[in-house]
């Protein structure tokens, strides 16, 4: 797969598949942070030292040691334009931090983009595995196997008492971040979201926006992840997240049913009003597009809207982001131009899907 494919296709192959509980859980992710022993961490490394680490880690897929998990391609961030790096962030294939590291950063991507291995981000190595729906245990299994491959050919920075050593103290220990991306419009509309999320933080989990720490929850999308990596085993971390997410899924479905039972006409009006605006608007900013797409996605999941699939909504959530818009239309745009193009793209996408049948 070429670099061009990674930055031009909005929907990763892994997102085209179905997973359990996809009406509420968009995706499950495991991220493992590791550093190499005897090398300064990226924040303190010179360019030469960072390049040595990059060459060592990128030699692993080149040696064929990852071949049992598919084909992989290494992309150095210096080979990408600023726009292309932004597109990879919008697809969740690299972090915003790595996007800013064009000097000695790299990403090793699997062909289906389910595996993204970041080099010289905040840590030397960050292994990320993504699955559709609620499959956090499956994502952990794959991430663990890939981690074993790297650990078999490198020497990790490890302390017998503290565990794996990382740049940020909050990652010391297992080095694992287990997270799910959840679509929670029912809890937002029934005004239960603050109570639920407050309870989540009290059991050691964090709530963030769609791009992780410091980002906002656009389109009723919330990222739920573990905060504690020290003093718990990997299994305990996974099980804790799994149990809490299962409860949130139940609360969200109950909230959606309550909306149907008590405010069906208002709910239908909201869903179809957003569908109508998306189908006809001439200008639309990112925040409004995210909210309207969330409404339509809710309508699809509740069976109010037919002949438009959740995957189409997932695709448009990526396509309408600022970087991808400019990539699709191959032009640098002002914010107002992006708003016009965003509306145009959504109109065309919805028209294409409904040409084959009604709403």
Enumerate the known binding-site residues: 27-31, 92, 126, 177-181, 208-213
Q: How far apart are CA 134 and CA 19, in angstroms?
A: 7
Which residues carry a binding-site annotation for ATP? Answer: 27-31, 92, 126, 177-181, 208-213
Q: How are strands ordered across the β-sheet holding 221-226?
A: 72-76, 106-110, 115-119, 125-132, 25-34, 176-183, 221-226, 205-208
CB count, 10 Å around CB of 277?
17
User: Which two structure tokens, joined as six digits, stand for 318?
Assistant: 């990526």
Q: How many residues does this entry show for the chain?
A: 359
Closest-CA residue to 218 (of 288, 134, 299): 288
What phi and psi, each to the nearest 5 degrees, are found at residue 198?
-65, -40
Beta-strand relationship, 106-110 and 72-76: antiparallel
Q: How far apart are CA 109 and CA 96, in angstroms?
A: 16
∠ CA 121-126-127, rounded to 5°: 150
Q: How far apart are CA 136 and CA 243, in angstroms?
A: 11
CB count, 10 Å around CB of 267?
23
Q: How far apart are CA 310 and CA 82, in angstroms?
A: 30
Q: How far apart are CA 227 and CA 200, in angstroms?
A: 11
Q: Are 286 and 342 in contact (CB under 8 A)?
A: yes
Closest-CA residue to 224 (of 210, 240, 208, 211): 208
Q: Are 83 and 326 in contact (CB under 8 A)?
A: yes
Q: How far apart are CA 146 and CA 55, in angstroms?
A: 18
Closest-CA residue to 295 (of 269, 318, 315): 269
Helices 335-354 & 234-280, crossing angle to 10 degrees?
A: 90
């Amino acid at each position: 797969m070429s670099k061009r494919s990674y930055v031009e296709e909005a929907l990763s192959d892994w997102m085209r598949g179905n997973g359990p509980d996809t009406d509420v859980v968009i995706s499950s992710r495991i991220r493992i942070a590791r550093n190499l022993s005897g090398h300064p961490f990226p924040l303190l490394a010179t360019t030469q030292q960072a390049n040595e680490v990059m060459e060592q880690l990128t030699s692993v897929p080149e040696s064929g040691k990852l071949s049992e998990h598919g084909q992989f391609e290494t992309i150095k961030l210096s080979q990408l334009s600023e726009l292309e790096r932004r597109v990879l962030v919008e697809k969740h294939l690299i972090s915003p931090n790595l996007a800013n590291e064009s000097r000695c950063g790299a990403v090793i991507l699997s062909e289906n983009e389910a595996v993204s291995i970041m080099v010289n981000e905040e840590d030397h190595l960050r292994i990320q595995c993504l699955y559709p729906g609620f499959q956090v245990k499956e994502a952990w299994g794959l991430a663990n196997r890939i981690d074993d491959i790297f650990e078999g050919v490198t020497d990790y920075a490890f302390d017998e008492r503290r565990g794996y050593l990382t740049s940020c103290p909050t990652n010391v220990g297992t080095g694992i971040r287990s997270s799910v991306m959840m679509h929670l419009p029912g809890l937002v509309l029934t005004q239960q979201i603050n109570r639920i999320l407050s309870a989540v933080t009290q059991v050691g989990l964090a709530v963030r926006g769609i791009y992780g720490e410091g980002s906002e929850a656009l389109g009723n999308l919330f990222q739920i992840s573990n905060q504690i990596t020290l003093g718990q085993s990997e299994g305990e971390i996974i099980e804790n997240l799994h149990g809490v997410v299962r409860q949130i899924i139940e609360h969200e479905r109950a909230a959606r049913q309550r909306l149907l039972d008590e405010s069906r006409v208002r709910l239908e009006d909201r869903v179809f009003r957003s569908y109508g605006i998306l189908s006809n608007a001439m200008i639309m900013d990112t925040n409004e597009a995210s909210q309207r797409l969330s409404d339509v996605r809710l309508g699809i999941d509740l069976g109010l809207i037919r002949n438009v699939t959740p995957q189409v909504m997932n695709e448009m959530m990526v396509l309408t982001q600022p970087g991808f818009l400019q990539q699709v239309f191959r032009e640098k745009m002002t914010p107002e131009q992006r708003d016009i193009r965003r509306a145009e793209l959504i109109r065309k996408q919805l028209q294409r899907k409904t040409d084959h049948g009604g709403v």
